[in-house]
Homo-oligomer: A and B are copies of this chain.
Amino acid sequence: MLVQEYFRTRGKLLEKALDKFLDPEDKYPERINQAMRYSVLSDGKRLRPILFFATYEMLIGRKNINRLNRLLPIAVAIEFVHTASLIHDDLPSVDNSDERRGKPSCHVKFDEATAILAGDALITKAIEVLTKLKNRSQAISCIRILTKAISTRGMIGGQAVDIISTRKKINVNTLRYIHYKKTGALLQAATDLACLMNGEEENTTITLSNYALNLGLAYQIVDDILDEVGSFEVLGKAPGGDSKNSKATYPALIGLEQSKKKAEKLLRDSYNLIKNMKNNDILIEFVNMVKERLP
C-alpha cells in the first residue's frame, strides 16, 4: 500500500469517527457544540491518531483497516485532547494566536469564554469516549495513559514551563523539557496506547515510546528552525512568531547549524529504534516527513 493511500484512508476513517462522537451543531446548548465541532473538524494533519493506528497495524503485522474499528474511541480521544490543547494554547492570555489551521482560532471565531469551555469539554469528552471501550480493564489503562499525557507531568507541565519561561533566559535543558512535554507527551501516548491494545511487552512499549519522543523533539526543533528561516508555506503559519512572543528556540540557544545537527541526530535515533521491526514503513515515513521539512 502506498504511504499516501495509508494516510488518506486512515485520515478519512478518523474524520468520520470524530464527526460521529461529537454532538450535532443544533444540539442545545448549540454554541458550545458548534465551537467544539469547529475546532475539531478543521483541516488538521491528524498525526497523533494516525501514528496510533500505524503503530498498532505494525504490531499486528498487517494493514487492515477493519481491525481499527474497535480502536476508534482511542484515536478520537487522542485528537480531542490535542484539539483542546490547541484551543487553550491559542487564548490571548496564553500564546495569543489569532489563527489556527488556516482559520480564525476558536476564541476569535466564537469568544474567549466559549473557547475555555470548549477546551474543558473536549478533555472531558476524550475521557468519556474511552469509557465506551468494551473491556473495562483496558479502558482504565487507556485513561491512565491519556490523563498522564495531559497532566502536569505531560502537556500541561510543558505549557506551564513555557509560560513562565517566556521573556526569560532559559537553558537548552528547559527548552528540551518544554518541547518533550508539549509535543512528545501525546505522541508517546499514541504509541503507548497502540502497545497496550496489542498486549505488548514493556520492552517494545519503551522502544516505541522513545521513537515517539525523539520524533516529537525533532519536529519541534525543525519548527524552531523554520520559524527563523522558513516560509509561510512550509511552516503553515507566519514565521517569526517565536521571537515575536519572546520565546526561546533551539537556533537562538545553540545556533542554526547545531540545531540542524541535533534534529538530524534525533531523527536517526528515531529511525534506529524501529529499523529492525517488521512492517515499519509508515513509522519510517513519519521520520521522513519531519526530515523533509528541514530547510
The reply on A8 being an interface residue by CB < 8 A is no
CB neighbours of A88 from chain B (8 A): 116-117, 120
Cβ–Cβ < 8 Å partners of A139 in chain B: 136, 140
Q: Which of A23, A117, A159 has the most CB of B within 10 A?
A: A117
Provide the bound-state CA to CA distance between A124 and B157, in Å.
12
Main secondary structure of the interface of A (DSSP, over half): helix
Known interface pairs A88-B120, A136-B137; A32-B144 also in contact (CB < 8 Å): no
Partner among B91, B120, B136, B148 whose Cβ is within 8 Å of the Cβ of A140 = B136
Contact B116 A93 (CB under 8 A): yes
B93 in contact with A156 (CB, 8 Å): no
Q: Are A124 and B147 in contact (CB under 8 A)?
A: yes
Chain B residues with Cβ below 8 Å from A160 are: 29, 31-32, 114, 117
**Interface presence of A112 (CB below 8 A):** yes
Give the distance in Å from the alpha carbon of A39 to the alpha carbon of B112 in the complex.
Answer: 22
| CA A94 to CA B91, docked complex, whole Å | 13
Known: A31-B160, A93-B113. 4 other contacts (CB 8 A): A29-B164, A123-B123, A125-B147, A128-B148
Q: Are A151 and B121 in contact (CB under 8 A)?
A: yes
Counting every copy of the chain, the complex holds 2
Indicate whether A131 reaches chain B with its CB closer than 8 angstroms. yes
User: Is residue A33 within 8 Å, beta carbon to beta carbon, of the partner chain?
Assistant: yes
A200 at the interface (CB under 8 A from B): no
**Inter-chain contact A128/B140, CB cutoff 8 Å:** no
At the interface, yes or no: A150 with Cβ under 8 Å from chain B?
Answer: yes
Q: Does A285 contact B (CB under 8 A)?
A: no
**Nearest opposing residue in chain B for A158, CB measure:** B29
Interface status of A163 (Cβ within 8 A of chain B): yes
* Of B29, B31, B94, B157, the contact of A116 (CB 8 Å cutoff): B94
Task: Say yes or no: is A152 at the interface (Cβ < 8 Å to chain B).
Answer: yes
CA distance A160 to B110 in the complex (A): 12
CB distance from A39 to the nearest CB of B (A): 14
CB-CB under 8 A from A31, the residues of chain B are 160, 164
Which of chain A's residues 10-61 have a Cβ closer than 8 Å to chain B?
A: 23, 28-29, 31-33, 36
Q: Which residues of B contact A123 (CB under 8 A)?
A: 120, 123-124
Residues in B neighbouring A124, C-beta threshold 8 A = 123, 147, 150-151, 156
* Closest residue on chain B to residue A178 by CB atoms: B29
Q: Report the Cα distance A152→B32, complex, angstroms.
A: 8
User: Looking at the complex, which one of B94, B152, B159 makes contact with A33 (CB distance below 8 Å)?
Assistant: B152
A184 at the interface (CB under 8 A from B): no
A151: which B residues are within 8 A, CB to CB? Answer: 121, 124-125, 128
